[in-house]
Each structure stands twice: as C-alpha cells, then as structure tokens.
Amino acid sequence: MSTVVVTGGTRGIGLGMVRALLARGHRVALCGRDSGRVAAVRAELPGDALVTTADVSDRKQLQTLWDTASDRFGDIDIWINNAGVSHDRKPLWELPAEATRGVLETNLLGVLNGSAVALTGMAANGHGHVWNMEGLGSDGRSVPGLITYGATKRAVTYLTDALAAEVPPGVSVGLLSPGMVVTDLLTHGYSDPRALAKARKVFDILADPVETVAPWLAERAVSRARNGAHVRWLTTPKVIGRFAVAPLRKRNPFGT
C-alpha cells in the first residue's frame, strides 16, 4: 500500500479521491484551509486518515503537512496537488484584484509550493511521485470570463512538463486530468441563469459526478506514477462519442 498526500482534500474531487484511496487500504493525509470543513471531514473519515488545516499558498504550512504525514506514516509515495479555486465569470478588467490574487495563490503558487516541498522530501527519500491537476485552460482553450483561472491551469501544465525534465533521480511528476466533474467549481460564478442553462446542455453531455471520476483517478494515481505520465478521464474519443449519442441518450450527471 502507498502513502498519499492530497491537498484540497476536504471537498469535491479531492475528497472523492481520498475516500477511494482509503477504501483501497492506502495511508492518506489531506489538508484544507477551512478549519470548520477540516473538522467535519476528520469526523467523517476513518481514524487512520490524517486530516489537517493548511493553506497551500504558504509553503511553511505545506512543509508542516509533509513533516506530520512523514512522522505518522513514514515515507510519502504520492503527493497530489489538487487544491484549486475559481472566480466569478467576469472579464479580467472587472475581476477584483483580491479575487485574481486568490486564484493565482491557490492554483499556481500552491502547486509550486506543494511541488517544491514534495520533491525536496522525495529526493531525500530517493523515491516518490507528484501529481498536478489540470483543468479548464490546460490545453490552451479559453472561455470568456474565466481567463484568470485558465491561465493558472495552463501554467500548471507547463510547470509539470518542465519539471519532468529535471526531477531528481528516483522521483517523478505527472498530470491528472479529471475533465468536467460535478463540483462547486463547475457551476461557480454564473450570475445569469440563462448562461447557466446554456452551459448545462454541455455539462449534461460531458460532465460526470465525483463518485464516477474520483475512484478512477485515485487508482491510476497510484498505479501509473511514472515521470511525464498524463492521465486523462475525458479523452477526445470519449467526447466525440458522447456528442454522437447525445440525441439518443439523455444524461443527468447532476442527479437532479
């Protein structure tokens, strides 16, 4: 069994992966920055899970997470930089500076910090793998109103590809791409109900619930930890296939 750390593991796809990893017998440490949410998840998960509060924009807090997990479980095999936030769907010039900063600090600085902490520890141990999470914008595609979010995810993909060329011996990095997952991030920031209704038509075709995607990603996060690995749930053939059958097969990933 592996020891896995998941940042942003108290909700959404992160929590889904945590549950799947624990169900498979892995040792798991996770963090979130909302202390109330951390306490609720700690009470929900099995007692052997390490659940703690940490802000990924602060490298010292992530170092504490690494040290605490190492003290409890020993060497860390997998580190997943999953923590991420979005913002209201507005043009860049209408987005408040504090909102822009928050997205950058979590989605990009958080991944830089997590990668630095994990790679340092893994280099000392002589083994380990870091996964970074892709999202909208990773492939260069832009969506109006989500430029800041997309820029951070594009940067994470570049960062991971570049790290793969210079990681220490025995250590590796890769990308996890969950596709469209039904979480708060997917529907966040729609101020116009008509825009959300239009988006829902696409979501109903391409999106999947956390309970479907998270176990699939969790299994591959452990089994496909190779340098430069790129694990994609929503592949191009799958997208084409879903649009092809959409007129015949109605999907409701939201379950409502």
Catalytic option among 66, 73, 79, 149: 149
Quick one: tokens of 7?
């940042």
User: 210: closest CA among 239, 183, 237, 228?
Assistant: 183
Euclidean distance between CA atoms 152 and 157, whole angstroms: 9
- Using DSSP bridges, classify how beta strands 128-133 and 78-81 pair: parallel, antiparallel or unpaired: parallel
Number of other residues whose CB lies within 10 A of the CB of residue 110: 28
149 is an active site residue: yes
Catalytic positions are 149
